[in-house]
Amino acid sequence: MRFRRKGLTPAKSIAVYFLALLLVLVHESNRLADWLADAGRSGPGPVHNLALNLAAELKAAANRWGITALNEAEGRLLNHFKPEADIGSFTRPSGDESQLREPVPAAAVTEMPGRTAVSPAEPQNPPAQTPAPTETAPPLPLEIPSEIPLNPSPAKPVFKNILLTGDSMMLEGIGPPLQKLLAGLEGVTVSREGRYATGLCRLDVFDWFAYFKGLLEQKKPDLVIITLGANDTQDIVEDKKRHQVTTDSWRKLYGQRVTRLLELARETNSQIFWIGLPVMGREPYNTRTLAINQVTEAACREASNCRFYDTWTILADSSGKYTTFLNQGQKHLRVRAKDLIHLTETGGQIMAESFLKASLDWALLGQSAPEADQAVQEDSSVQEMRLLTQARAIAESLPQSPAESRFEPQAVNPVTAALSPVSAPVTAISDPAGQSAGPPETPLSDNPAAAADTLVEVTLKSKALGKDTRYLVYTPQDKGLYPAVFLLPGTEENYQAWAEHFGTDLWTLAEKYRLNLIMIDGDGFGWYLDSPVNKNSQHMTYFFDELMPDVLNKFPLQNDKLALMGISMGGHGALTLALARPGRFKAVSAMSAVTDIAGHGGEGALNDYLRLEEVLGSYKQFSDRWRKASAYWQTRQNPGGLAQTPVYLTVGLSDRLVLAENRQYNRLLTELKLPHEYREDSGGHDWSLWGRELPDHLEFLARHLK
């Protein structure tokens, strides 16, 4: 009867409901695809493959139908009406005192040595009056009222014009909620600007000094809140000398660069609050992040205009270790992104509220650090102080980066945490001249799959490259005679990349499939080619005439069962090396490979980033040379080069760099009837996708090697 009174029969009502559901699913197709992919990866084999295929098809359809572009346009439009929009300034007008209070979720107060007390904060769009996520059964639960005034005293904020800046951590994580909360303060103007994928290590890619100086001149802030460093877990090259990450020389240079930013702010009478990075989920990225925090905090301590806010344990579990989820009552809140680095909206909200609560009274931000510390001591309860003491003990127990290290301690990856750690030191091997490369600076420890001497670092004098080179070799524990896979990294990476990003997952798979793994160096932008313009960039000659003989002479492996595997630039290298020696390699696999470098020359291409002209010369002058060096054109002209070598290609559906050329290469291999497998997955051009694809690639290679 109710349906009839509204003019709808039950059947029509159900049809309307299903139509509405269908429209929502179409609109949220990308999110649905991501959910399917996540659900599938944790399921059994058949479910895993079905879910990933459905996710890939759904994302492809969303792109094909224009749904993705429509959603992006919608997001850009809505950003103009949201207080947390990336661009713009927001000032709370004076008068309405009732608007000066914001509900702040409860959060445990923590403190790191040498800084003001801090606390956690940041759920995405938390409901009002909702306590913030706390760790499951914390040893010392801290009870804080669900409403905490941001400016409880009559004192007015010392800072009126606040600039939030930094990398993606500020643009996406802590930045939006922090901007929204600060905009609620009477008479305060807050703006947020920054640059993705930038930092202080690669000033040749992006000059943070010039950018920061411009922001200071334009915005004229009296307070800058900055978080930077998530992209700085890499070496620094200065005056043609490479300083390896976390070494003494690297720390000195990085500290100088932080100090330079602080000096630029001091020249404009701007104060700095530097928000440190939280604990991370992968090693050695986590340990390197800790080193960045240490160097930055030390620089702030020496500066008169900077205070450092430590976030290391704010989103950690009760023991101070990385966690993806925090429990709040019956709720399981995700606070970290899938890449084990970035924050979710919930994680960002917790961090932002933590930062504000750390000041207790906004007026304290204008006091000197000792005065603020004293205020914290006086205002803290006995229970708070006990928790602060415990947090300090946790912080002091965190592993310290060695002064000189090539590999930092390898903590157990959360994904493989169930495995028991076994020590696996990196062993040095003498070079061809008989000179020892010396003992490793630090061992690669806590490796669940490796025993002593399974991971070896080798130094090799190269005439083709005009310098000493290094490579890593992982050998299965039982020291049997097994096939070998050469692992080729992408741009800006070196021979350590595979161990750094995959670590325990890589060793576990090597043991499972009984494979020797040889991790080599592509010189950052060498492209595994013999350069006609740089005599010290003969990478193909280096690989075949120097590296391979050295590996085969020094390690017991089946030299007639070799394979190649590469990522991005390394994917192109794997294909061209196989094409250069038809039949020498039993299989080739490439993740997100650059398959047609000729497509990256000319105006509007990405050559400036890929630095291909340094290897091949001007595209405008030598376009034919570029085509001859390309894997796509080599395969097209000489199909027999891959006739005996099965190829496995995967690429992310959101990969704007190489998706189109991978599809083109797949069509070519299909037309030529060359043995290959091809798959598209949800994801972009990043290590998160490659980590998910790693097991499939090694399984493919192992299958064809054995």
Q: What is the CATH number of the domain that holds 578?
A: 3.40.50.1820
DSSP 401: P
**End-of-domain residue from the set 28, 46, 78:** 78
> Does residue 698 register a pLDDT over 90?
yes
Are 26 and 95 contained in the same domain?
no
pLDDT in tens, 418-454: 222 222 334 444 333 333 333 333 333 333 333 346 8
Q: Per the structure, how many domains does the chain have?
A: 3
The answer to which of 83-97, 271-285, 368-382 has the lowest mean pLDDT is 83-97
pLDDT range class, residue 81, cuts 50, 70, 90: very low
> Does residue 619 register a pLDDT over 90?
no
pLDDT range class, residue 115, cuts 50, 70, 90: very low
Contact (Cβ atoms closer than 8 angstroms) between residue 395 and residue 380: no
Nearest-angstrom CA–CA distance, 175 and 82: 14
Percent of the chain with pLDDT over 90: 37
Q: State the average pLDDT for the chain.
A: 73
Are 524 and 658 contained in the same domain?
yes
Query: Is 317 inside a domain boundary?
Result: yes
Element (H, E) at 461: strand 455-462
Are 46 and 98 contained in the same domain?
no
CATH (domain of 254): 3.40.50.1110
**End-of-domain residue from the set 344, 368, 397:** 397
pLDDT value for 172 = 86
Query: Is 416 inside a domain boundary?
Result: no
Kindly state the average pLDDT of the residues 397-419.
28
pLDDT range class, residue 246, cuts 50, 70, 90: confident
Query: Is 242 inside a domain boundary?
Result: yes
DSSP 547: I
Are 255 and 121 contained in the same domain?
yes
Measured from the Cβ of residue 379, the count of other Cβ atoms closer than 10 Å reads 12
pLDDT in tens, 23-67: 777 767 666 765 665 555 444 445 555 665 676 667 667 666 777
Are 37 and 72 contained in the same domain?
yes
Are 339 and 224 contained in the same domain?
yes
pLDDT in tens, 308-331: 888 998 898 887 888 888 877 667
Bridging pattern class, strands 426-429 and 455-462: parallel
pLDDT range class, residue 134, cuts 50, 70, 90: very low
Query: Is 558 inside a domain boundary?
Result: yes
Residue 410 tokens, joined? 């390898």
Query: Is 125 inside a domain boundary?
Result: yes
Contact (Cβ atoms closer than 8 angstroms) between residue 3 and residue 13: yes
pLDDT in tens, 366-396: 443 344 344 334 443 433 343 334 333 433 4
**End-of-domain residue from the set 78, 95, 127:** 78
pLDDT value for 354 = 82
Are 104 and 197 contained in the same domain?
yes
Give 527 or 44, the one with higher predicted confidence: 527
Are 32 and 129 contained in the same domain?
no
Which residue type sits at 265? A
Coarse DSSP helix, strand, coil percentages of the chain, rounded to the nearest 5 percent: 40, 15, 40
Query: Is 412 inside a domain boundary?
Result: no
Are 50 and 109 contained in the same domain?
no
Give 383 or 659, the one with higher predicted confidence: 659
Give 580 or 31, the one with higher predicted confidence: 580
pLDDT in tens, 633-642: 999 999 999 9
Q: Which residues, including other chains, have CB under 8 Å from residue 299's CB and lie 6 or more apart?
A: 255, 258, 259, 262, 306
Are 22 and 100 contained in the same domain?
no
Range of the domain at 687: 482-705
Residues 110, 115, 116, 122, CA torsion sign: negative
